[in-house]
Amino acid sequence: MRFAVMASGRGSNFQALIDARARGELPGAELVLLIVNRRDAQAAARAEAAGIPWEFIDSEAMARAEFDRRALALLRECHAEAVVLAGFMRLLTPEFIEAFRHRILNIHPALLPLFPGAHAHRDALAAGVVESGCSAHFVDDGVDTGPVILQQAVPVLPDDNAETLAARILPYEHRLLPEAVRLLAAGRLAVEGGIVRILPKK
């Protein structure tokens, strides 16, 4: 399965996919393109180092619909079959999501449906929960509301702040996202009634 990745920042989850591929852990997945929406996104340098083509589309210079139109054109050109959002900090239009329905993966640093949005660590700490974590999920028309594929719980420590909690959760993001990609590429994910079922190996 041909995967394109979209990222906005440092690209550590994108690097996790590159590393998993190098270890032979993504046998059915090919990383064919990276799209970044910020000129200073460090993910672009990771793509160059790994020999993966990348493109920059300036999200500040155009409306959301125009950005998505250009991104979809690039995805069609490289024959992408699925999309991974790896720290991509921009909402996608319903038209984009429909073009890749149940083929857009995202990693979110909380145990969804708890604490969606851009401030998950801050919100978890403010709520006083004893554990948070991360979720790999399909993207739908809402904000972090799509069907959950995999989750990993991580304890919240008494002296945690947003930075320390984020640092402890991040290694689990780096495990969950490649695993979700592997399962999708293997045809082992089915969505029924808004719930993901992981199918047995063929």
The pLDDT value recorded for residue 118 is 94
Question: pLDDT (tens digit, 9 = 90+) per residue, 94-123?
Answer: 999 999 999 999 999 999 999 999 999 999
The pLDDT value recorded for residue 202 is 78
For the CA atoms of 92, 26, 174, 98, what is the dihedral angle to 10 degrees?
10
What CATH code is assigned to 2-198? 3.40.50.170
What's the mean pLDDT in 67-82? 98
Answer positive or negative: Cα dihedral of 71, 73, 74, 79: positive
Compute CA distances 31 → 2, 20, 56, 157, 184, whole Å. 6, 11, 17, 36, 13
Check whether 171 has a pLDDT greater than 90.
yes
Q: In the annotation, is 102 catalytic?
A: no
Q: What is the pTM of this model?
A: 0.96
In this structure, what DSSP letter does residue 128 have? Answer: T
Contact 181, 105 (CB under 8 A): yes
Out of 108, 121, 137, 174, pick the active-site residue: 108
Check whether 34 has a pLDDT greater than 90.
yes
Question: pLDDT (tens digit, 9 = 90+) per residue, 35-58?
Answer: 999 999 999 999 999 999 999 999
What's the mean pLDDT in 18-22? 98
The pLDDT value recorded for residue 92 is 96
Parse the chain into domains and list their residue ranges. Answer: 2-198
